[in-house]
Amino acid sequence: MNRNKVPLALGLICSLTAASYGQGASEDAIAQIAAKASSALARLEYVYHNEMVGVQKRIGQCVCIDAANGVFLTRDVSGAVPADEFRDFFLIPSGSTEKKFKAELMGTDPEENLTFLRVTGKHPWKDLKFVRVDLKLGQQVIGVGLLGPQTGNVPYVGVARVAAKLRMPGEVIYVSGGDLTNASSPVFASDGRMVGIVSQQIPMEFRMLLRNRWTEIGLAGLQSTRFFLPVAEFAHVLGRIPQKGESRRLAWMGVWRYKRVAAEEAEIKKLPAGKPAVLIEQLRSGGPADKANVKQGDAIVGLNGKPLPELPTPALIATNFRRLLYRFKAGDRISLTLFREGSTFEAQVTLELMPLQPHEAPRYYNQALGIACRNLVDFDRYPGRVSALTTRGVLATLVLPNSPAATGKLQPGDIITHVGDKPIPDVETLGKVLKELSAATEPVQFLVKRGEQDRQMLMITLPPQ
């Protein structure tokens, strides 16, 4: 297929007339935008391989942002899954189903859940460049995406108008008067500049009559093509694309939990009226903030000499502060404006790498036994706890129904501390011990910690090897 021409199969969606909001792009201009986009779009195919769920083929789409180096961007690969469980990435040009190009995972930026892929060697794609644009209400925007493989990955178009700019806490654009295209689709202004990417954000509420009562129901499926992320929200990510197949490690200041400041609490703490603030609810002992003399209960009212941004709700203010921290990198020195016992002062904090997240922890799978486990991380041991969890062991994240582990009463959330007489400090040890006991003919003793209870003894019959 000649990808320089827009096929008749384009789904051109536009239910608003130009007169509704002012003149938009002409049909010829929209066709030119679609042709330009189709030369940069690719169907993404890859495999999710997990010993417990097997091999699952997944699809998505991506857009070429650097043709010379073969770099593509997508939101269709989850950053919450260990990178080594993804494999066999292939990209397919728009309008094709057979010609495939092998790609490699460069990594994911967890701040905006953007994943980057690289095609090595010669390829047919041209790139598109994102441009920061101050979009106005009523402005026409055009999305270009790919229909499914069953249609031949044909490009299609959605035309809409900017209806609202939402803070969630980052800016998200909501459109009306038409749908955009699927997630990871580039979004263009009417002059052809690429101004964002379709992001499948929040559901919208609809009133429905159920059992003779009007009920508000969030319908995400009907709204998934009504939101896009403007370039300003992720432009900084494009300057630090990961290279080694891993997620970017975020920076942090050594605070396990922040707390939103409701009006009543602001009054009790005598915070300056109307000033956005975030409370430090749980501090890591010996962490960057602790070293800078920040205390639990301090209220953060400013960052690097600027007050915290005003947002519609206290929860969004707290979420946005964490988001602002993610823009920095480990080693950066930030200045916090703090309010404590009626006084305001500055604290200089040198950021560090955030400890491993639960999804980054080493894992162990044993399908015959019916368990998936991972190492405990600091985020299991501290946040939300009055005292730190000191138990050494591995966390059972999945127990298959009717498996030997389930029959032996093991539950997800249990911490396995011993198998037989062997302590289990990590998943590597668990695998070795279970292999050593594989010939056992009698049930094997598992010691587990379940919730706040004392350790329990379970007897589990190991499956034959």
Q: Over the stretch 331-388, which tens digit does the pLDDT of each residue have?
A: 999 999 999 998 999 999 999 999 999 989 999 999 999 999 999 999 999 998 888 9
Regarding whether 369 and 225 lie in a shared domain, the answer is no
Residue 449, in any domain of the structure: yes
- Domain end, chosen from 307, 329, 353, is at 353
Regarding whether 419 and 370 lie in a shared domain, the answer is yes
Residue 399, in any domain of the structure: yes
- Domain end, chosen from 185, 210, 245, is at 245
Regarding whether 299 and 367 lie in a shared domain, the answer is no
Rounded-to-integer distance, Cα 318 and Cα 152, Å: 45
Regarding whether 260 and 235 lie in a shared domain, the answer is no
Regarding whether 141 and 13 lie in a shared domain, the answer is yes
Q: Which residue has the higher pLDDT, 73 or 3?
A: 73
Tokens of 358: 């639960």
Across 279-290, average pLDDT = 95
Regarding whether 382 and 411 lie in a shared domain, the answer is yes
pLDDT tens digits for range 72-95: 999 999 888 888 889 999 999 999
The pLDDT of residue 225 is: 78
pLDDT band at 169 (very low <50, low <70, confident <90, very high): confident
Annotate 89-125 with b (16+ C-beta within 10 A) or e (fewer). bbbbbbbbeeeebebebbbbbbbbbbbbbbbeeebeb
Structural domains counted in the chain = 3
Regarding whether 60 and 197 lie in a shared domain, the answer is yes
CATH number, domain of 177, equals 2.40.10.120
Residue 465, in any domain of the structure: no
Regarding whether 331 and 197 lie in a shared domain, the answer is no
Chain-wide mean pLDDT for the chain? 88
Give helix then strand counts, H and E, for the chain: 8, 29
Q: Is the peptide bond before 307 cis (omega within 30 degrees of 0)?
A: no
CATH number, domain of 330, equals 2.30.42.10
Residue 342, in any domain of the structure: yes
Regarding whether 317 and 441 lie in a shared domain, the answer is no
Length of the chain: 465
pTM given for the model: 0.85
Regarding whether 339 and 230 lie in a shared domain, the answer is no
Q: Which ranges of 178-332 does DSSP label H, i.e. alpha helix?
A: 263-268, 288-291, 314-326
**Distance from CA of residue 31 to its chain's centroid?**
33
Across 105-130, average pLDDT = 94
In this model, does residue 464 exceed pLDDT 90? no
Regarding whether 441 and 336 lie in a shared domain, the answer is no
pLDDT tens digits for range 136-163: 999 999 999 999 999 999 999 999 999 9
Domain that holds residue 130: 1-245
- Domain end, chosen from 245, 273, 307, is at 245
The pLDDT of residue 52 is: 83
Tokens of 320: 């946005």
pLDDT band at 15 (very low <50, low <70, confident <90, very high): very low
Residue 452, in any domain of the structure: yes
pLDDT tens digits for range 180-237: 999 999 999 999 999 999 986 555 555 666 666 666 655 555 456 789 999 999 999 9
Residue 238, in any domain of the structure: yes
Across 114-138, average pLDDT = 95
Is residue 137 a contact partner of residue 78, using CB atoms and an 8 Å limit? no
Regarding whether 348 and 230 lie in a shared domain, the answer is no
